[in-house]
Amino acid sequence: MPDWMDPMLAKLTHDYFSDPDWIFERKLDGERGITYRDGNSVRLMSRNQKHINDSYPEIEEAVAEHAPEQCILDGEVVAFGPDHVSDFQRLQRRMHASSREEARQSNVRVHCYIFDCMYVDGHDITRVSLRARKKVLREAVRWEDPLRWTQYRNEKGEQFLREACEKGWEGLIAKQAGSEYVHSRSSKWLKFKCTRQQEFVIGGFTEPRGKRVGLGALLLGFYRDGQLIYAGKVSTGFDDETLADLRATLNKIKRKTSPFDVGDPEHKCVHFVTPKLVCEVGFTEWTSDDKLRHPRFLGLRRDKDPKDVHKETEQQQA
């Protein structure tokens, strides 16, 4: 049984379609969780190979009880808001819990939606079709919370996307039903998005004004051809606790010079930081000069290397 298998990643497209040879799944806004069970050992891993068992101990325990003794399962860990929409901001309290005890005491309930299986009972099944893998997965796991089967639809992608957007979902993932599981980004999996959001590197922050605590705004960037491009700042989407925690974290990585190779923030009270942290940001659109319109902070990410953060378009996949 392999110690690690790189997860398959989807490409963004705006060319939505329906096709009998494709299936369509709900795109969940959470943290990718690749689960490895080998006998009594269960490892829940992020897509950049970080152990995340301590954030989600109930998922570890459920896998030990309800999954095959040897398996590698691919899924997404999510928390839901009161509107039954996956809520990445709500998940933050579990992602960044300082210990298993803090995670257990949290009032944030999580679920792991499993959508693929790479290995089971001594067999690597990545080279069989997606439909066959899903059949194996459906029968191999005992589906009890917090483990959930990921529902999907056949053929009618455009109709499903309209329904998804009306419900406030992030979008859909379209998957070619006969495709193998590859350990890279692939056009066999495509993202249909209702809203725009992606990861950005934090390159600095501004001082708060008035009664605001912690910081005023985060300075955002993305990499292009090895250069960090300034993409504007985000000042909404924070509560006071998040602002204070971010300020304490950013103070530890402050630097005197700008990390941005292209573009500079036009603000007097700026503090620059070493570009080590990645955050998720929602926004309405890009401007012609690579700036964000109406950005909103959604939370910190721990599952992506800053150097892998690019402007997500159909031509430049993040």
Digit-coded pLDDT (tens) for 108-149? 999 999 999 999 999 999 999 999 999 999 999 999 999 999
Q: Which residue has the higher pLDDT, 197 or 274?
A: 274
pLDDT (tens digit per residue) in 4-63 = 999 999 999 989 999 999 999 999 999 999 999 999 999 999 999 999 999 999 999 999
Distance CA 63, CA 78 (A): 16
Q: What is the CATH number of domain 196-308?
A: 2.40.50.140
What is the overall mean pLDDT for the chain? 94
Question: Would the pTM count as exceeding 0.75?
Answer: yes
> CA of 281: how far to CAs of 113, 197, 292, 293, 318, in Å?
23, 5, 10, 11, 14
pLDDT (tens digit per residue) in 195-224 = 889 999 999 999 999 999 999 999 999 999
Distance CA 176, CA 84 (A): 27
**DSSP string spanning 11-45?**
EE-S----EEEEEEEEEP-SEEEEEEEETTEEEEE
Write down the H helix ranges in 156-232. Answer: 157-166
Largest CA distance in the chain: 61
Domain parsing of the chain, residue ranges: 25-156, 196-308
Predicted pLDDT of residue 284: 86
Predicted pLDDT of residue 82: 85
Q: Which two tokens stand for residue 164?
A: 């998804």
Predicted pLDDT of residue 268: 74
Distance CA 119, CA 35 (A): 10
Sorting pLDDT into bands at 50, 70 and 90, what band is 318?
very low
Catalytic residue among 27, 188, 191, 193: 27
The reply to whether 268 belongs to the active site is no
Q: What is the CATH number of domain 25-156?
A: 3.30.470.30
What mean pLDDT is predicted for residues 85-101? 93
Predicted pLDDT of residue 313: 74
Question: Which phi and psi (to 5°) does residue 87 adopt?
Answer: -125, 100
Dihedral (C-alpha) 48, 187, 199, 310: value to the nearest 10 degrees?
A: 100
